[in-house]
A and B are shown apart, each in its own frame.
Chain A
Amino acid sequence: EVQLVQSGAEVKKPGESLRISCKGSGYSFTSYWISWVRQMPGKGLEWMGRIDPSDSYTNYSPSFQGHVTISADKSISTAYLQWSSLKASDTAMYYCARHRRHYDILTWGYYYYMDVWGKGTTVTVSS
């Protein structure tokens, strides 16, 4: 069974650092990109950034560039999302999601959509 297993809930203070994880199983981890998606309390889904675990290439949403870092350790099939200095506004649920690749013969291009999601990690930042 394909699964993304995320680390447990975190409670932190403003200014602290944090790294949460997402471990893939049941598939070839390096064959699929992983994205991180934020959901603030009572709000919608926001794409933060993605990583290609095969070479650790990343790209970020402009809204999150410079505020978080995405990394991966392919030897243990795990992707990470980290903050160096948390703010109260980082309080949210964070999901990782795997990207399935779709090849389009008309454009000769690849397109990637999110097919499998982790259950989420709740991050609470409060003094």
Chain B
Amino acid sequence: DIQMTQSPSTLSASVGDRVTITCRASQSISSWLAWYQQKPGKAPKLLIYKASSLESGVPSRFSGSGSGTEFTLTISSLQPDDFATYYCQQYNSSDWTFGQGTKVEIK
């Protein structure tokens, strides 16, 4: 199966900061990558699909890029509502796998 590795595991940042999270796949997944946001006690929420397509209703400060094995999620100006855990997920195969998550904390 395809392994997904995120970095960093934890990120401390301030409101207004530009934040970047990296996700690496153990083999090429083309652009078949999604990003999710999860807040404590809540279900994951889809942010980005096909590596860079913004889900409807998601603020434009979120963006995704990459292809093949390396991907990034960027938050251009961190807002109070963005403190959460973020997961990448590959859907290149019908054996979906997630990264281990990146927790974005208040600095």
Question: Which A positions have Cβ atoms within 8 angstroms of B?
Answer: 35, 37, 44-47, 50, 59, 61-62, 95, 97, 100, 102, 111-120
Measured between alpha carbons, how far is A117 from B44 in the docked complex, in Å?
Answer: 7
The smallest beta-carbon distance between A22 and chain B, in angstroms, is 12
Closest chain B residue to A59, Cβ basis: B94
Closest residue to A33 on the B side, CB-wise?
A: B94
Whether A111 and B92, one on each chain, are in contact in the complex, defined by CB atoms closer than 8 angstroms, is yes
For B38, the chain A residues whose CB sits under 8 A away are 45
For the complex, what is the distance from the CA of A113 to the CA of B45, rounded to whole Å? 12
Q: How far is the CB of B32 from chain A (nearest CB, A)?
A: 5
The smallest C-beta distance from B3 to any residue of chain A, in angstroms, reads 13
A44 to B34, CA, bound (A): 15
State whether A115 touches B46 (Cβ < 8 A). yes
A123 to chain B, nearest CB (A): 15
* Cβ contact within 8 Å between A46 and B46: no
Chain B interfacial positions (CB closer than 8 Å to A): 1, 32, 34, 36, 38, 42-46, 49-50, 55, 87, 89, 91-92, 94-101
Tell me if A47 and B55 are in contact (CB < 8 A).
Answer: no
Residues of A within 8 A of B98 (CB): 44-47
Which chain B positions have C-beta within 8 A of A117?
Answer: 43-46
In the bound assembly, the distance between CA atoms of A46 and B101 in angstroms comes to 11
A107 → chain B closest CB, angstroms = 8
Contact residues in A for B43 (Cβ distance below 8 Å): 95, 117-120
Contact B55 A115 (CB under 8 A): yes
A118 to B38, CA, bound (A): 13
Tell me if B44 and A112 are in contact (CB < 8 A).
no
Contact B49 A102 (CB under 8 A): yes
B94 touches A114 (CB 8 A): no
5 A-B pairs with least C-beta separation: A117-B43, A47-B96, A45-B98, A113-B91, A113-B34
